[in-house]
Amino acid sequence: MGEVDGPVPEEEPKGAESVEKFKEYIEKNHLATLNANLRKGQKVLILDFKDLSLFDVDLAAHVLDQPEKMIEAAELATTYFDLEGNPEVKIRFTNLPQGQELLIRNIRSQHLGKLYYMEGVVRQKSDVRPQVTSAKFECPSCGNTFSVLQLEDQFKEPSRCGCGRKGKFKLLSKELVDAQGITLEESSESLEGGEQPKRMKVFLKDDLVSPLSERKTAPGAKILVIGSIKEVPITLRSGVKSIRFDLLIEANNIEAVEETFLDVAITEEEEQSIKDIAADPNSTERLVNSIAPSIFGHDLIKEAILLQMVGGVHKERKDGVKSRGDMHVLLIGDPGSGKSALLKRANIIAPKSRYVSGKGVSAAGLTASVVRDEFLQGWSLEAGAMVLASNGLCAIDEMDKMTDEDRSAMHEAMENQTVSISKANIQATLLARTTVLAAANPKYGRFDPYGNLAEQINLPPALINRFDLIFTIKDLPDRAKDDKLASHMLKLHQKPQEVQQDIDTNLLKKFIAFAKQKVRPKLSDEAIEAIKEYYLKMRSSGSAEGGVKTIPISPRQLEGLVRMSEANARLRLSGEVEKIDAQKAIAILEYSLMDVGFDKETGKIDIDRIATGVSASSRNNIMVVKEIITSLEAKVGKTVPIDDIVAEAKAKGLTQEKVEEVIEKLKRAGDIFEPKQGSINRL
């Protein structure tokens, strides 16, 4: 008899034993925390796995192997304490051992039912929906009540009652929990080149979908999920269950992973190194040299990228209007001039960044899209690159190869730093505090050194206008420069490890993060005066041509100057923007304006060349030709010969080429048409 009875109750005390052990552990270490949480209205207790394994190794091992059973035992243990209101406390685990880390791509059937943790980026998020966990029924015949646990997808009713009644039971009440599905995608750091990041569904319920946790799991957030891997049966169209199963992670706990500039942890020694760099009189040169040491030259562009990463100060005014602190930089250059290499390097230095390129980019991929959610039915939101890179950098290569519709999706994200979406019953505004570093080729593949630069930029003016700085990179043969470039590149190929870098990449990353976290510089009166003086000087320097004044600089550039001045102060780790910071910003802006805004015809800088695509001198020519057409119409009737227009224009100082160019522009704009050769009609 002893032999029969021996093994049978063995299972029983094991469960009860676990409850006892958890009770002892919680009483000893966590009772005060539990009471404090309950007073705050949080029915949650987070247990540190490391502490638990120090308390009892076997218990900790069981938690990893049979998480469901053990979590149930721990939750049962909390009911033995005299807690206010007898709440149902949820147990969450944290600090799992490193051996329990699992990549999404490596999940196999042997991992089912065990506790693991995995890191990734939230790509998709469904709405929060209630789900039934148990339902209470009453038998109409005998009045007996009983509960039925709802563990499957289908709602389960009791089959029979003790009195013999079958079916038609009355539903008295049901217990609901909030449930939500998110899609976790592997983070790009864990991938090797050319691999497709794998995705996995994660099921959240109870406090993991509370408004506080909601922020952690916003699309684009990087999180660490602790949970057990479950199989989900697939039902075929015929209604029978398939032999294949789907996988999902039932989350036990979710933790935000530091990833933005604002969350990077910096040790005391690193902080001292950062302050030493800032105190060095040549700190800017050292930082610029470390941005991309393997790329020859382009020092001013590297400095602009450095300023862009540090950024200005994000301000929110009392009336709710926000002014962005992020700068946007556009590089337009000949093929093979090192644009992509600069973008790739910037992508490595920024703690949070996304790199996208040309034809592989769509509007939805950049901003956000709404996709059908198979998991909890309905629609869910999927974040694009600019949202995923919020508080970081988005590097867009081959921008000229993107279609106009896709490019126009960037306007809102670049200026207002939000992405609004209104599709399939989802109206949402996602934050996209992203700084954009873009690269493009000129219109005809390569710059014409004698042509007008602004006309060779193949991008819509409305988009170009949103960039604070535009640089052109021309690849012109120059014996001395080519000699240095060739020597530099060939040496790199000969000894790839011998790249001289003043500041280590990791420390550079921490320097930028420290400057963004700790330094919020304010404009001094001298800096304001310097910026204002330059702005007014530039505004008044525009030449008036036939009544149309060239606009050398617009208020957008004024805001850009403020952002760059603040970024310069941040590089010095200074709390005040001084005159020298403003002067440095002015020098970079002037270089950029001279590069792309210089109008050869007037010999002046004209921002309209970039901002509107039509320079002030061209606009003046258009006005003159339009006036001539109107006056000739009154004399010769509706159809006006082009020769007459040319003759009139010559008297006003316009050449035949310029008149023909204006007529062509007006035809394209739909203002005039040519009913027969050599004559035009106004529409």
Q: Please determine, for residue 258, whether its predicted confidence score (pLDDT) is greater than 60.
A: no
CB 199 within 8 A of CB 123: yes
Which CATH number does the domain housing residue 64 bear? 3.30.1640.10
Q: Please determine, for residue 316, whether its predicted confidence score (pLDDT) is greater than 70.
A: yes
pLDDT at residue 9, as a whole number: 35
pLDDT at residue 150, as a whole number: 66
Q: Are strands 115-125 and 129-138 parallel, antiparallel or unpaired?
A: unpaired
Q: Which pLDDT tens digit goes with each residue over 168-203?
A: 787 787 777 778 888 888 876 666 545 667 888 888
- What mean pLDDT do residues 504-518 have? 80
What is the pTM assigned to this prediction?
Answer: 0.66
Q: What does DSSP assign to residue 445?
A: S
Per-residue pLDDT band at 3 (split at 50, 70, 90) = very low
CB 52 within 8 A of CB 63: yes
Does one domain contain both 348 and 409? yes
Distance CA 267, CA 270 (A): 5
Does one domain contain both 111 and 82? no
Query: Which residue has 């703690």 as its token pair?
Result: 351
User: DSSP of 27-38, one letter per residue?
Assistant: HHHTHHHHHHHH
Domain membership flag for residue 430 = yes
pLDDT at residue 13, as a whole number: 38
3-class DSSP state of 393: strand
Does one domain contain both 142 and 192? yes
Which has more pLDDT, 1 or 151? 151
Contact partners, residue 67, CB within 8 Å, separation at least 6 = 113, 114, 115, 228, 252
Phi, psi (rounded to 5 degrees) for 483? -65, -45
Domain membership flag for residue 480 = yes
Does one domain contain both 250 and 273? no
Distance CA 543, CA 552 (A): 9
Distance CA 556, CA 665 (A): 27
Q: Which pLDDT tens digit goes with each residue over 196-243?
A: 678 888 888 877 777 666 667 777 777 888 888 887 777 777 777 777
Domain membership flag for residue 205 = yes
Q: Please determine, for residue 259, whether its predicted confidence score (pLDDT) is greater than 60.
A: no
Does one domain contain both 114 and 225? yes
Which CATH number does the domain housing residue 425 bear? 3.40.50.300
Domain membership flag for residue 574 = no
Nearest by Cα to 587 from 568, 606, 573: 568
Does one domain contain both 153 and 41? no
Which of 29, 60, 95 is the last residue in one of the domains? 95
Q: Which of 86-95, 136-145, 615-624 has the lowest mean pLDDT?
A: 615-624
Which of 504, 519, 534 is the last residue in one of the domains? 519
Phi, psi (rounded to 5 degrees) for 187? -80, 150
Domain membership flag for residue 594 = no
Nearest by Cα to 501 from 670, 291, 224: 291
Q: Which pLDDT tens digit goes with each residue over 354-388?
A: 888 877 777 777 887 777 766 556 677 777 788 87
Mean pLDDT of the chain: 76
Per-residue pLDDT band at 543 (split at 50, 70, 90) = very low
% of residues, the chain, pLDDT over 90: 0
Longest dimension (CA), the chain: 125
The domain total for the chain is: 4
CB 469 within 8 A of CB 428: no
Phi, psi (rounded to 5 degrees) for 132? -80, 130
Does one domain contain both 451 and 376? yes
Q: Which pLDDT tens digit goes with each residue over 578-608?
A: 888 888 888 888 888 776 655 555 555 555 5
Range of the domain at 59: 11-95
Does one domain contain both 404 and 511? yes
Does one domain contain both 114 and 230? yes
Angstrom distances, CA of residue 538 to CA of 321, 338, 531, 556: 27, 32, 11, 13
Does one domain contain both 184 and 42? no
Which of 492, 519, 546 is the last residue in one of the domains? 519
- What mean pLDDT do residues 11-18 have? 58
CB-based burial label for 427 (10 Å; 0-12, 13-18, 19+): exposed
Which CATH number does the domain housing residue 226 bear? 2.40.50.140
% of residues, the chain, pLDDT over 70: 84
Domain membership flag for residue 40 = yes
Q: Which pLDDT tens digit goes with each residue over 93-105?
A: 888 888 888 888 8
Which CATH number does the domain housing residue 625 bear? 1.10.10.10
Domain membership flag for residue 540 = no
- What mean pLDDT do residues 27-38 have? 79
Does one domain contain both 218 and 316? no
Contact partners, residue 449, CB within 8 Å, separation at least 6 = 474, 476
Nearest by Cα to 388 from 355, 422, 423: 355
pLDDT at residue 544, as a whole number: 47
Q: Please determine, for residue 547, whether its predicted confidence score (pLDDT) is greater than 50.
A: no
Does one domain contain both 469 and 500? yes
- What mean pLDDT do residues 400-414 have? 79
For residues 520-551, b (16+ Cβ closer than 10 Å) or e, as one string? ebebbeebeebbeebbeebeeebbebeebbbb
Q: Which pLDDT tens digit goes with each residue over 467-478?
A: 888 888 777 777
Domain membership flag for residue 599 = no
> What 3 state SS string does 225-254 have?
EEEEEEEEEEECCCCCEEEEEEEEEEEEEE
